Amino acid sequence: MQGLIGKKIGMTQVWDAQGRRVSVTVIEAGPCPVVQMKVPDKDGYSAAQLGFGTQKASRLSKAQAVRFEKAGLVTPCRKLHEFRLDEGESVKTGDQVTVGIFEGVKLVDVTATTIGRGFAGVVKRYQMRGGPMTHGGHSKRRIGGIGARDLLLGTGAADTDEYKGKSLKEALSIFKRHFIMKALEDNRWNQTETAKVLDIQRTYLSRLIKELDITNPKE
């Protein structure tokens, strides 16, 4: 097995043999129970579905709850991910996979998904300076001008045009299509749970799914 599920705990620092300070990321990796096995005869490939974290049983569908019951897990897992098995490797449902699988390995690849940051203004999103904070300033965190009137054509409102590519307040890059797809897949296409994970409203997530033309491949 080539992987394990974990989550970032925080940052700290260590010193190497030469006395140099090195910044490191602390990750809680495992233990991960084997929730389900994928076999070639039934699924067409060999893999182990690992779980991580805890989830309330009330938030699971009946089919999801039965999956954990079959694995002998009293507490359901919040995250599920499949890892292909190495040739000759044998694990069974209910086994606990720990960081012991990396014994003797010097380097590992770590991939992660950025947490949702919700709706953000231009000061946070683009690090704009903003207006004066004192002396009666009324434009502290506002965008500023987003267009101008064409004086050659006229000064009416109908002649006003917005600058193309203007930086505006909106959702941060977490809401790009591939991030939303990944979040939906992790939450088994449950939009309510996905919205909670991304820290956005359910209606806003539905609008993004429609705008980005995201469809469930299983439908």
Give me the tens of pLDDT residue by residue for the chain, a chain 219 residues long.
Answer: 788 999 999 999 999 999 999 999 999 998 999 999 999 899 888 999 999 999 999 999 999 999 999 999 989 999 999 999 888 888 899 999 999 999 989 899 988 877 767 777 888 777 788 888 888 888 888 877 776 665 555 544 445 566 666 666 666 655 566 777 888 888 888 888 888 777 677 887 887 787 777 877 666
Q: What are phi and psi of 217, to 5 degrees?
A: -65, -15
pLDDT for 186 equals 83
Q: What count of other Cβ atoms lies within 10 Å of the Cβ of residue 58? A: 7
Q: 112, 90, 91: which is closest to 28 by C-alpha?
A: 112
Q: 144, 137, 100, 149: which is closest to 121 by C-alpha?
A: 144
Long-range (24+ apart) CB contacts under 8 A made by 190-194 are 193/59
pLDDT for 28 equals 94
Class of domain 6-102: alpha beta
Q: Do the Cβ atoms of 50 and 118 come closer than 8 Å? A: no
Quote the CA–CA distance of 111 and 129 in Å, as a whole number: 33
Full-prediction pTM beyond 0.75?
no
pLDDT for 83 equals 92
pLDDT for 89 equals 83
pLDDT for 112 equals 84
Q: What are phi and psi of 43, to 5 degrees?
A: -110, -15
Q: Do the Cβ atoms of 202 and 190 come closer than 8 Å? A: no
* Domain range list for the chain: 6-102, 113-128+167-219, 132-165
pLDDT for 9 equals 92
